[in-house]
Every structure is written in C-alpha cells, then in structure tokens.
C-alpha cells in the first residue's frame, strides 16, 4: 500500500508542477488542483497509513491518528475556497485582458 501511495503522490505532484508551468490560466488551475490533492494525501499520510483502524480509541485494537485527518479536512476546505476564487479571477482576467496567459499578454501575439 505504501508503494502505491507514494507513486500516486509522485505522479500527482509531477503532473501538477508540469501543468503549473504551462502559463495558461486553465492549465495552471488544473495544476494547482492536482498539487493540492497531492498535498492533502501527503498530509494524511503524515499520521502513518493504517488499515482498518478508526480514528477513535477503543473501537479496534489499534487507533489511527485523528489529527492529520482534521488537518486534511481544514486544508481541503481552504483549498476548495481558494480554487473557486482563482477560477473566478481567471475568468475575470480572461474577459478583461482578452487572453488567458498568466502574464495577461500573449508573448507570441506580435509574431502572428
């Protein structure tokens, strides 16, 4: 399970960083989303991966660490709000600046 988890994290982060560097708002937002998924999974794993262990003491022989789960919940909520904001901002910028480059101007515009 650890190996699969680690590979998933790696793939998510790689894709996220690649998309972030694409410099178009839509891909950047997708990249940010993937990156925040990777981060949330990573944060969850900081409490160690345990199978069939609820986060309540006494229900099972071993209990999972509840704190990372709480942290992840908070991080998901914040990440969700931020993504919503950046989507609206990107739409606003695309309408006002008439292109979707993160710099607000298309570097190839003059060439065409």
Partner 1 sequence: MNHVLILPILLPLITGAGQLLFYQAPFALQRLLGFASTFWLVLLGVWCLQVAGSGEHLIYQPGGWPAPFGIVLVLDRLSAIMLALTALLGFCCLLYASSGTDQRGAHFHALFQFQLAGLNGAFLTGDLFNLFVCFEILLIASYALLLHGGGRARSRAGLHYVIINLVGSALFLIALGTLYGLAGTLNMADLALAVAQAPPSDAPLLAAASLLLLVVFGIKAAILPLLFWLPRAYSAASAPVAALFAIMTKVGIYAILRVFLLVFALGESPLNHTAWGWLWPLALLTLALGGVGVLGSNSLRTLTAYLVILSVGTLLATISFATEASLGAALFYLIHSTAMTAVFFLLADLLGQQREKGYDRFSAEGPIGHRWLLGTLFFVAAIAMVGLPPFSGFVSKAWILQASATQPQGLWLWAVLLGATLLTLIAVSRTGSSWFWRPGDMAKPYPLERGPLTLVAGMVGLNGLLAAFGDPVMHYLELTAVQLLTPQDYIAAVLPEGRMTAQEGSP
Contact characters 43-82, partner 1, x per CB under 8 A = x-xxxx------------------xx--x--xx--xx-xx
Tokens linked to 91: 């739409």
Give dist(CA 4, CA 51) in Å, integer. Answer: 14
Q: Which CB, 54 or 85, lies closer to partner 1?
A: 85
CB neighbourhood size of 35 (10 A)? 19
* 61 SS3 class: coil
Residues 13-32 that bind partner 1 (CB under 8 A): 20, 25, 28, 32
Min separation Cβ 51 and partner 1, Å? 18
Q: Which of 15, 30, 55, 102 binds partner 1 (CB under 8 A)?
A: 102
Instruction: Give backbone dihedrals phi and psi of 24, rounded to 5 degrees, phi first.
Output: -115, 140
């Amino acid at each position: 399970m650890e190996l699969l988890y680690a590979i998933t994290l790696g793939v998510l982060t790689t894709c996220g960083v690649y998309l972030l560097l694409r410099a178009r708002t839509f891909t950047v937002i997708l990249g940010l989303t993937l990156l925040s998924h990777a981060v949330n999974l990573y944060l969850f794993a900081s409490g160690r991966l345990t199978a069939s262990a609820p986060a309540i003491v006494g229900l099972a022989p071993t209990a999972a660490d509840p704190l990372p789960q709480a942290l992840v919940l908070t991080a998901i909520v914040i990440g969700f709000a931020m993504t919503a904001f950046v989507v609206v901002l990107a739409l606003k910028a695309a309408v006002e600046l008439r292109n979707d480059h993160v710099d607000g101007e298309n570097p190839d515009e003059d060439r065409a």
